[in-house]
Structure formats: structure tokens, C-alpha cells
């Protein structure tokens, strides 16, 4: 099972669950045995990046005003610049939950230097400092501080998460419904983690379909955490490819859609106008 096969399986599985929900007339969360409960969301996606602290706070402001009570900052620039942004955010917003994502941009020495600052600032997690296969680096980094290490968007199927479980150093799991094997496989992964009190915060891919499905799953598992709300600008896969996948509420939460299945309708005309092209993609 390679990454390509896992991605293909994910899409087919998600489509089958949508069909089943539409046939039953039930929203996905109900089909999965969940309830329509509020899910906490953080402002994330491809946003809140490497700008100066003042500009970062300006970018953050409308999202906090909209209701978000948690944000995820991009780290993996220089350690000094990363710390400056985290410190500015914490000073300006002492009650906001701050999460971080290095997008595999750190070395082990970077983590050794940044972890004390993260501990002091109460950072919620450090996501993907290293590639998924660098198990020995995660094991070493876990000894540098208290901030939990997070990963999972590039771990495929429960069999790769089994290695993560055995290592015991990645304390936040972030399987992606569009990458890790689909809704069925992520239910299994979340259940594995639940037995060991490991929270499951699904990584959100770029499409509204993925995001809506992720909320349904979070409403149906007992160790569900945050929904990663993509706040990036001009994301046509979220805004134009399908109907509205979610909306942030004033208390910083989202609700699963009530329509049958995943609850979004794909615009087939939009897909025909934007055909797939050769080359790498990340949707």
C-alpha cells in the first residue's frame, strides 16, 4: 500500500459513504453513530505564515473577531523568527490557543532550540517538524520539552499509525480523510488512538468535501479534537467546487451539515471547466 493507492482508496470510500447517506436520507454523522454537536475549530489551512509579527496579528484579527479561539501558526522559518511570532501572538492574545505547524521544515537542532520557548508560551502542539518516516527524529525530539508532537497527514492507513502507536512519542494524531484511507480507515485509526487516550484532530485537505466530511467524523468519535478550518484566501476547491461545507459560529465552533450524506453538492460544470492536469496536486 503506497501513498497513491491510499489516496485513491480514500476518495472511493468517501464517495461510498456519501451514497449510503443519501440512500438512507441521513447526514453522515448520524450514519456514523454521532450527534450534531458543536466541534471546536482552529483557524488554519495555508495561512498565518512567515510575515512580520505585526502583519501576522493583522491577518489574524478578522478570524478572531469571527469567533475562532485557536489559531495555527506556520513555523519552520528561522527559530528566532518563529519564536518572535509566537511571542507576539501570545502577548496580544493571552487566551487564544496557539498551535504550530513546521511542514517538515525543522532540523533536530531547530527543535532543540525552539521547544523551550514553546513550553514557556503554552503552545498546543508542534506539527510535523520532520517527514513521517523519520521515526528516530520524533523519538529524539520528544525528549526536548513538554509541547506535544503532532503528525498523521502523511501516514497512510492504520498500519502506519500502528508504528506511530508503538513508538509512543507522537501524542496528537492527524489522519486525513482524503489521504489516510477514507472515512472507514480514519474511524479505525481514531479507535486505535482512543484506546490509548490519544486525541484525533484530522488534517484538512483543501476541498470543501474533505472539510465537511471531517466535521462529520469528529461528531462521531469519542476522541475527536479540533476541526482544521481552512482560512486561506481564494481557495476555489472550498468556495466554488461545491456548496458551503461549513461556517464558523461566534463561539469558535462548527456544526456538521444536516443534508443527507456528506451534505455538500459538487458543481459538475465547475469540474468540467477545471479538468485535472498532469503533475503533482494537493487537494
Q: 3-265 — its CATH code?
A: 3.20.20.120
Checking DSSP bridges between strand 227-230 and strand 39-44, what pairing results, if any? Answer: parallel
Instruction: Check residue 206 and give its pLDDT.
Output: 87
Instruction: Check residue 277 and give its pLDDT.
Output: 83
Instruction: Check residue 2 and give its pLDDT.
Output: 80
Residue 282's pLDDT band (boundaries 50, 70, 90)? low
What predicted TM-score, i.e. pTM, was given to this entire model?
0.96
Residue 92 phi/psi, 5° resolution? -75, -30
Instruction: Check residue 165 and give its pLDDT.
Output: 98
Instruction: Check residue 56 and give its pLDDT.
Output: 97
Residue 45's pLDDT band (boundaries 50, 70, 90)? confident
Q: Shortest CA distance to 48 belongs to which of 76, 12, 7?
A: 76
Q: Which residues contact 223 (CB under 8 A, 6 or more apart)?
A: 190, 193, 194, 197, 198, 199, 200
Residue 205's pLDDT band (boundaries 50, 70, 90)? confident
Task: Name the DSSP class of 59.
Answer: H
Q: Is the pLDDT of residue 121 over 90?
A: yes
Q: Please, is 108 exposed, middle or buried when counting C-beta atoms within 10 Å of its C-beta (0-12, 13-18, 19+)?
A: middle
% helix, strand, coil for the chain, step of 5: 45, 15, 45
Q: What angle do CA 189, 258, 227 make, to 5 degrees?
A: 40
Taking CA atoms, 209 is separated from 18, 94, 109, 223, in Å, by: 10, 34, 38, 22
User: How do residues 133-179 score in pLDDT, each as one tens digit?
Assistant: 999 999 999 999 999 999 999 999 999 999 999 999 999 999 999 99
User: How do residues 268-277 score in pLDDT, each as one tens digit?
Assistant: 999 999 988 8
Q: Shortest CA distance to 174 belongs to which of 122, 126, 115?
A: 126
Instruction: Check residue 280 and give its pLDDT.
Output: 67
Q: Is the pLDDT of residue 279 over 90?
A: no
Residue 155 to residue 159: CA distance in whole angstroms: 9
- 280-283 LR contacts (CB < 8 Å, sep 24+): 282/205, 282/206, 283/178, 283/205, 283/206, 283/207, 283/237
E strand residue ranges, the chain: 39-44, 70-74, 97-101, 126-127, 149-151, 170-173, 227-230, 253-254
Q: Please, is 89 exposed, middle or buried when counting C-beta atoms within 10 Å of its C-beta (0-12, 13-18, 19+)?
A: buried
Task: Tell me the average pLDDT across 167-196.
Answer: 97
Task: Tell me the average pLDDT across 25-54.
Answer: 95
User: How do residues 2-37 score in pLDDT, each as one tens digit?
Assistant: 888 999 999 999 999 999 999 999 999 999 999 999
Residue 49 to residue 7: CA distance in whole angstroms: 27
Helices (H) and strands (E) in the chain, counts: 11, 8
Q: Which residues contact 161 (CB under 8 A, 6 or more apart)?
A: 152, 155, 173, 175, 180, 189, 192, 193
The separation between CA 199 and the C-alpha centre of its own chain, rounded to angstroms, equals: 12
Amino acid at each position: 500500500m503506497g501513498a497513491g493507492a491510499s489516496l485513491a482508496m480514500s476518495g472511493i470510500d468517501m464517495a461510498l459513504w456519501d451514497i449510503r447517506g443519501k440512500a438512507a436520507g441521513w447526514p453522515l454523522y448520524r450514519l456514523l453513530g454521532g450527534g450534531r454537536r458543536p466541534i471546536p475549530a482552529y483557524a488554519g489551512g495555508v495561512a498565518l505564515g512567515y510575515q512580520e509579527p505585526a502583519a501576522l496579528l493583522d491577518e489574524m484579527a478578522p478570524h478572531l473577531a469571527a469567533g475562532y479561539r485557536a489559531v495555527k501558526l506556520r513555523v519552520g522559518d528561522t527559530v528566532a523568527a518563529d519564536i518572535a511570532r509566537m511571542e507576539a501572538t501570545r502577548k496580544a492574545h493571552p487566551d487564544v490557543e496557539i498551535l504550530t505547524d513546521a511542514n517538515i521544515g525543522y532540523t533536530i537542532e531547530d527543535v532543540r532550540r525552539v521547544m523551550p520557548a514553546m513550553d514557556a508560551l503554552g503552545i498546543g502542539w508542534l506539527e510535523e517538524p520532520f517527514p513521517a518516516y523519520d521515526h528516530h527524529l520524533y523519538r529524539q525530539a520528544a525528549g526536548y520539552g513538554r509541547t506535544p508532537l503532532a503528525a498523521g497527514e502523511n501516514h497512510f492507513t492504520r498500519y502506519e499509525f500502528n508504528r506511530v502507536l508503538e513508538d509512543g512519542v507522537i501524542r496528537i494524531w492527524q489522519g486525513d480523510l482524503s489521504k489516510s484511507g477514507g472515512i472507514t480507515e480514519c474511524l479505525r485509526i481514531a479507535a486505535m488512538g482512543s484506546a490509548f487516550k490519544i486525541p484525533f484532530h484530522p488534517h484538512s485537505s483543501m476541498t470543501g468535501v474533505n472539510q465537511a466530511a471531517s466535521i462529520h467524523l469528529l461528531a462521531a468519535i469519542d476522541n475527536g479534537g479540533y476541526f482544521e478550518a481552512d482560512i486561506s484566501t481564494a481557495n476555489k476547491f472550498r468556495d466554488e467546487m461545491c456548496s458551503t461545507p461549513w461556517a464558523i459560529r461566534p463561539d469558535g465552533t462548527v456544526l456538521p451539515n444536516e443534508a443527507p450524506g456528506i451534505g455538500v453538492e459538487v458543481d459538475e460544470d465547475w469540474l468540467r471547466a477545471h479538468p485535472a492536469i498532469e503533475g503533482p496536486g494537493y487537494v
